[in-house]
């Protein structure tokens, strides 16, 4: 009887050891993946910071202006509808700056070509003490959302099209996301060019990055 008890206890201890070993392995894999993700983002964040105070203007935005300010893109991908997507401050297939042109991948983008969409984001910027000024036509990352709404109204536009989606000027509309009351991404859409290209806006907007501060 005592022998059976010891055998059962031994089996329980072995199973418990296996269970904790498995959990430790899983936690280690998750920790390694998280460390890799943070390291990749830090590299992106540093690249964005290397542009210094970055100010772009939709009224004069062309491919030549982007190259003049940001140099050559580090990534070029295809998007639906024969659209080229150019990226700066990238990791794998994720960039903090995306610009879309109505030119097939491999095609030549003319220097005076106007984008159909532009996205700038820095979702984790507040965690890394981001202080540089990154703006597009007066809207900037890190701006308090209420202050941003007031600014958009004073410009004479700001008509709400849907949640966090407003008209910005004669040709452009703007979608934004925020975290803890501050703007962390800006998606500018050139509505006339999008209609001309017969593309839906949602097909151009990358999946939004989860706010790490909400966890």
Number of structural domains found in the chain:
1
Quick check: is 103 in a domain?
A: yes
Which pTM value belongs to this model?
A: 0.74
Quick check: is 31 in a domain?
A: no
Rg (alpha carbons) of the chain, rounded to whole number: 23
Domain that holds residue 180: 53-214
Quick check: is 27 in a domain?
A: no
Quick check: is 35 in a domain?
A: no
Quick check: is 6 in a domain?
A: no
Q: Which of 15-19, 62-66, 100-104 has the highest mean pLDDT?
A: 62-66
Mean per-residue pLDDT for 184-193? 93
Q: List, for residues 114-155, the tens digit of each pLDDT value.
A: 999 999 988 766 555 555 688 999 898 888 999 998 888 887
Mean per-residue pLDDT for 14-25? 48
Quick check: is 154 in a domain?
A: yes
Mean per-residue pLDDT for 59-69? 94
């Amino acid at each position: 009887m005592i022998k059976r008890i010891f055998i059962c206890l031994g089996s329980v201890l072995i199973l418990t050891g296996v269970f904790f070993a498995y959990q430790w392995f899983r936690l280690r894999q998750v920790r390694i993946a998280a460390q890799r993700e943070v390291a990749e983002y830090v590299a992106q964040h540093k690249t964005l910071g290397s542009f210094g105070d970055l100010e772009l203007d939709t009224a004069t935005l062309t491919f030549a202006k982007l190259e003049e300010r940001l140099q050559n893109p580090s990534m070029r991908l295809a998007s639906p509808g024969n659209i080229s997507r150019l990226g700066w401050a990238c990791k794998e297939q994720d960039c903090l700056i995306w610009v879309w042109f109505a030119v097939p991948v491999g095609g030549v983008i003319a220097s005076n070509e106007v984008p159909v969409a532009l996205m700038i984001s820095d979702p984790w910027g507040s965690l890394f003490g981001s202080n540089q000024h990154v703006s597009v036509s007066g809207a900037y990352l890190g701006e308090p959302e209420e202050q941003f709404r007031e600014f958009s109204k004073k410009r004479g536009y700001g008509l709400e099209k849907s949640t966090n989606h407003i008209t910005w000027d004669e040709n452009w509309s703007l979608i934004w996301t925020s975290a803890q009351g501050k703007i962390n991404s800006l998606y500018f859409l050139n509505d006339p060019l999008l209609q001309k290209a017969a593309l839906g806006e949602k097909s151009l907007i990358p999946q939004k990055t989860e706010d790490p501060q909400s966890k």
